[in-house]
Each structure stands twice: as structure tokens, then as C-alpha cells.
Amino acid sequence: MNTPAAVFCAAVAFQCLAINPAQAQPMRCKNDLAQVGDGKASVLQKCGEPVFKDSFCKPVERQSVPIDGQARVIVNTQACDRVDEWTYNPGRGQFMTTLRFEAGTVQSITYGDRVK
């Protein structure tokens, strides 16, 4: 039945899913898990060396600071933030896994193609 209440409930449920995306799944390493928030040393200890490392410079957003309550000066002390991506090959039939580090900690874990 397509009552207004049912339509409203479906719309609210859809918005909740869109606002709160699923958390990144941790990556299994031997008998441990690497997860968002882990530092580089922790990931190295748990998972060992990745098969590929990449680094790039992510532009920093400009920040403005009020002076005397009105005028604003653009402050940009860094040209960019360093981002490191480590890719792991967990083995045949598993998914290639990339950990993205920002400020030295894992910010995201993404899964790619299956290893053949």
C-alpha cells in the first residue's frame, strides 16, 4: 500500500542511509586487523611491507583569519598535505587492498580487483 506514512518512512530511511554511509571494513593481516585510525608503524607491524607505495600532495584548503573584526587575511602555511597510499596483495582470489594515510594514520581502506 502506498500511504503517505509509508512514503514518508521510506524517505526517512533513505536519508539515514545516505547520511551515515557504512564504515570502512578493516583489512585482515595474519591474525590481526588494520583499520581506520591505525598509524603507519602499527600497520607495518600487523601487515608487513605493502607491494606498492604511492605518495602525492593534496592541496590544502585556504583558511581566512579575521583581523580587527573585519578584514581577512588568507593564511596558507603549507602548499599541500602529504597523502600516502599503501597497496597490499592478500593472495589469489582476494581483493587488492589500498590503505590511505593522511597525517600518518589510516583514513580509508578501499578494495580493488580480485587477485588472479
Separation of alpha carbons 75 and 60, rounded Å: 11
DSSP codes of every residue in 36-98: TT-BHHHHHHHH---SEEEEEEEEPPPEEEEETTTEEEEE---SEEEEEEEEE---TTSEEEE
| Pairwise pLDDT comparison (79 vs 92), residue with the higher score | 92
Judge whether residue 112 has pLDDT over 50: yes
pTM exceeds 0.75 for this model: no
Q: Which tens digit of pLDDT belongs to each residue from 37-71?
A: 999 999 999 999 999 999 999 887 766 666 666 66
Q: How far is CA 109 from CA 55, 78, 79, 100, 103, in A?
A: 15, 26, 25, 6, 15
